[in-house]
Amino acid sequence: MRQKLIHDNPWQRLRQFTVARIALGRCGNSQTTEAVLAFGLAHAQARDAVHAPLARAAIEQALRNAGFDTVAAHSAAPDRQHYLRRPDLGRQLDDASRALLAQARPAEPPDVVFVVADGLSALAAQRHGVPLLLAVRERLPGWRIGPVVVAEQARVALGDEAAQLLGARQVVMLIGERPGLSSPDSLGVYLTHDPRPGRTDAERNCISNVRPEGLPYAQAAAKLAFLLRGALALGHSGVDLKDDSEHGVLPEPSAQQGPLGN
């Protein structure tokens, strides 16, 4: 009687609900060749996502085609190697970008400035930045949206300095997250009210894993619009601002903050 070498996992049917590595089966005491090769491919995709350059010109063109003004920025990290080894440089603008953003400051303070940044996955910013921005804009009627900053070699905190130079009341950083072995293109969203250098992570709100296979654009946009209005009403973002967007009740701006557009 021939012995069966490849054993299917009885949990195989659960794989339709997740991209996580479950129910891989086995060949003897080892993983199957298919599972090993798939893991190698995912690892290579994650590494590529970290090192791939941002297609800044293409993103800027797509944003302008959608009716957004844009401005380019670069961190103080001169290249990818410095960016990966010196996180502090990725949190600061270089001198040329500071001058450019100061010149681009609108006459009236924007209610929000969006920053599309490479972070640890330029692929995420290129795939999901513009579609998410379009979905959010639909949910912010009457808001003054400043120029969209397209930033290279950037960390989250870079958005605080960029938005301060543009005079914005709030900043939203759309940035590539650290790639996982099932998600090389996951986009993170970070909201900071009253942005300025020195803000801490406790003063931000985060929405993670934005992509069609994770949190869809429409759902992420609804959460972000809720948090933007909530931060405006509270006068700050961070740990005190909770995501109650599923209840469908969005807070109104407080009297101290004043109505949008004024």
Every domain of the chain and the residues it spans: 10-50, 52-247
How high does pLDDT run on average in the chain? Answer: 88
pLDDT digits (tens, 9 = 90+) for 174-233: 999 998 877 889 999 999 999 999 999 999 999 999 999 899 999 999 999 999 999 999
pLDDT digits (tens, 9 = 90+) for 83-124: 999 999 999 999 999 999 999 999 999 999 999 999 999 999
26-27/113-117 β-pairing: unpaired
What tokens does 20 get? 């996580």
Percent of the chain scoring above 90 in pLDDT:
69
The total number of residues shown for the chain amounts to 262
Whole-prediction pTM value?
0.84
Coil, strand or helix: which one is 134? helix
From the number of C-beta atoms within 10 Å of its C-beta (0-12, 13-18, 19+), residue 56 rates as buried
User: Does CATH number 3.40.50.300 belong to domain 52-247?
Assistant: no
Q: Where do we find the tokens 């270089």?
A: 94
